[in-house]
Amino acid sequence: MKISSTQWEGFRNLKPRRLEWAEGLHLLLGPNGSGKTNILEAFHVLTGWGSLRGERTADLRSWTDPGRGTFLSASFDGEDSLEVKVGIGARIVAKKGGSSLRSSQLRPLVPSLIFLPNDLSLVEGSPATRRRLIDRLCALLFPVYALRLHEYGRALRQRNASVRMGRNLAATARVMAPLAAWIWACRLTAVDLIRNGLEEGEGLLPPGVMLELKRGGRGLEDLHLDFWESLEAGQKQERATGVCPVGPHRDDLVIRFQERDVARCFSRGYRRRVAIALLLSSGWAVERKMRRKPILLLDEVMAELDHEGREQLIAVLLRTGWQVFATTAEDCTPDWPGRVWSVEGGRVDEG
C-alpha cells in the first residue's frame, strides 16, 4: 500500500496542510524539534496505531491551539484504495467511508511498520522489547491477536493475584492455556517469517545471523501440553515468587551470530543494523503473508550507520519497492534516491 495524500489539523506542532505523496522513498529533513517525528506519528495514527510515545491521546492535540479540533485524513492506494479519517478527542476514532473502523480492522488494510531511535534496545534490551517486535507483526498478521494477548494479560494478572492470596489456581489456568497455546503458535509463525525475511536484507548484515523464539515453557511440540506440563513443573517456584513462571509473557527472541549472542559480539553500529534488519524482515513477512506492501516509517534510521551501512540500507529499501518515510536532522545522504522534504517549525515543504 502507499499513502497518496494526507491532511492534518491541530495535530501536535504541525501546521494545517494537505500533502500529496508519491510512491518510493521520502526523506523528511529538518532541525531538532521541527516536527519530523510528529509527521511519522500522524502516519502511525492514520494506519491504526496509537501515539508513538505511549502518551495520553489528548497529548496528540495541539497545545498552542487547544480550541481547534484535531483531525487527520489520508488516501491510500496500491493493492486497495481507501480513504481514512481520524478524529482525535478523548479517544482516537477512525472512519472509512463514513463508517467507524476499529484499529484491529484498520491495521491490516494499511500495514505500517515503524523504527524508532531507541529500537537499538531490541538487541540489548529486555525480552519485553523483543516480544513487542513480534507482537506488532502478529497484530498485523492475525487480526484478533491484540485482543487475545490482552485477554491473556488479564488472566495472568488474575492468576498472580490469586497466587499471592493463596487461592485456587485451576480456573485461571483453564482460561490461560488455550490463549497461551494460540499466542505461541502465532509467534512461532511470525518468527519463521522474520527468519526467512532476514535473508532478503543481504548486505546489511553478515550472513549467519540466527533467530529463535525461546518460549516460556519446556519446549514440548504440543503447545497445549507444554503449557500444562510447564505450569505443573513450575508450581513450587510460582508459590515462592507469587509470579507465574510459564507462558508467552516469558518468551524471548534469541538473536545469535556464530553461536554467540549478538548483544555481546556485535559493535554498536552492527547492533543497530540487526534492529533495522529485523524491522525490514517484518516488512517482508507482511508482504509475503498479507499480499500487501507495508509502509515503512523510519525515525533517525541512518544515525550511527557508516557510509557503507547507509548505502546498503538505501539499496535494500529501493529493492523492496515499498513506500518509505525516513527522518533525519542532518543531511547525511546527499544522494538520496527519492524525494526530500524540508520540515521547519511544523511546516513541511518539498525540496
Ligand X SMILES: Nc1ncnc2c1ncn2[C@@H]1O[C@H](COP(=O)(O)OP(=O)(O)OP(=O)(O)O)[C@@H](O)[C@H]1O
**Interface residues toward ligand X, by CB under 6 A:** 12-13, 30, 32-38, 59, 61-64, 329
Picked from ligand X, Mg ion, none, the partner binding residue 316 (CB below 5 to 8 A depending on kind) is: none
Picked from ligand X, Mg ion, none, the partner binding residue 249 (CB below 5 to 8 A depending on kind) is: none
Smallest gap from residue 327 Cβ to Mg ion (A):
6
Smallest gap from residue 309 Cβ to ligand X (A):
20
What amino acid occupies position 128? Answer: A
The set of residues, in sequence order, having a beta carbon less than 8 Å from that of 115 and lying 6+ positions away, is 275, 276, 279, 296, 297, 298, 299, 301
Nearer to ligand X, 69 or 153 (CB): 69
Looking only at the bridges linking them, the beta strands covering 295-298 and 323-328 are parallel
Nearer to ligand X, 33 or 89 (CB): 33
Residue 100 parent element (H or E)? strand 99-101
- For 191, left (φ over 0), alpha (ψ -120 to 50), or beta? alpha
Smallest gap from residue 22 Cβ to Mg ion (A):
23
Picked from Mg ion, ligand X, none, the partner binding residue 129 (CB below 5 to 8 A depending on kind) is: none
Nearer to Mg ion, 105 or 118 (CB): 118
Picked from ligand X, Mg ion, none, the partner binding residue 64 (CB below 5 to 8 A depending on kind) is: ligand X
Nearer to Mg ion, 11 or 76 (CB): 11
* Closest C-alpha to 242, from 162, 151, 154: 162
- The arrangement of strands across the sheet holding 25-29 comes to 112-115, 295-298, 323-328, 25-29, 339-344, 347-350
Nearer to Mg ion, 36 or 159 (CB): 36
Stretch 23-62: interaction string toward Mg ion, x if CB under 5 A: -------------xx-------------------------
The set of residues, in sequence order, having a beta carbon less than 8 Å from that of 111 and lying 6+ positions away, is 1, 47, 140, 286, 290, 292, 294, 295
Q: Could you list the residues that contact Mg ion (CB under 5 A)?
A: 36-37
